[in-house]
Amino acid sequence: MEKFDLHILGCGSALPTTHHHPSAQVVDLRDKLFMIDCGEGAQLQMRRSRLKFSRLNHIFISHIHGDHCFGLIGVISTFALLGRTADLHVYGPATLEPVLRLQLSTFCPGLEFNVDFHPTTPEYALIYEDRSVQVYTLPLRHRVPCTGFLFCERPILPHIRRDMIDFYHIPLYAIRTIKEGADWELPDGTVIPNERLVRPADPPRRYAYCSDTAYLPSLVRYVEGVDLLFHEATFGADNQARAAETLHSTAEQAATLARDAGVRRLVIGHYSARYEDEHVLLNEAQAIFPQTVLAQEGLRLQV
């Protein structure tokens, strides 16, 4: 199975804590890196996770609260010091671009690479695709325009059956066309149907990122059946009123969304600094959706 990993670099909320970094994640899909949000110190966390800067070409910013984007200029400055020449693509609210351009002209004059900005809006829309993945924005509800992100792996070709290739003495040059659906004809004219030569491909996987947001049951239709869902759980049930006031979610609400959407696994994060032990949030979530884990810096999850 092709690589599709999630690396948690930071999972704290706006107020700093002694044991969490601001929000930042990296999706490693078929050896391409995609950063989601970029809190302060994201480049240091990338080093600690042994992620290669040269493989990161796309950064997705959910909204312009500082704990989700203050690390962006630091990452770009690090790229410049490392002699980067490949273009960097940044996706985020349109209001981020003038701030970013000012920072670039002030702190990174003479960059050897382009920083291409792609504005996003809080709606379901395809914003990036290549041969490996499609990335969609998800409409969230927060105090400023905010989007989630949905990563959809593109289908891969079926697996070749090596025993059949050897049995029928099929040459290597024909394997690609067989994977693409071709039959194979033997010298005597016998046709070997494709289904005897391949095994079904692994189903494409999906990862959804939802932070920061009030509880939105309408998200179910966008994240239904995803392999892994990250959903903020800033507060516990003891602070549900505060969650509603600040347009955040509780652990119970995150778990309810995961249950209703039929996702395979849930990872919660973006913890309020008031919780010294996040297991109170984990316990609340697991009571509704047992397949829940806590986000922690350095955590790596296979999608």
67 is catalytic: yes
Contact call for residues 300 and 6 (beta carbons, < 8 A): yes
Which among 5, 31, 37, 67 is annotated as catalytic? Answer: 67
Q: What residues are labeled active site?
A: 67
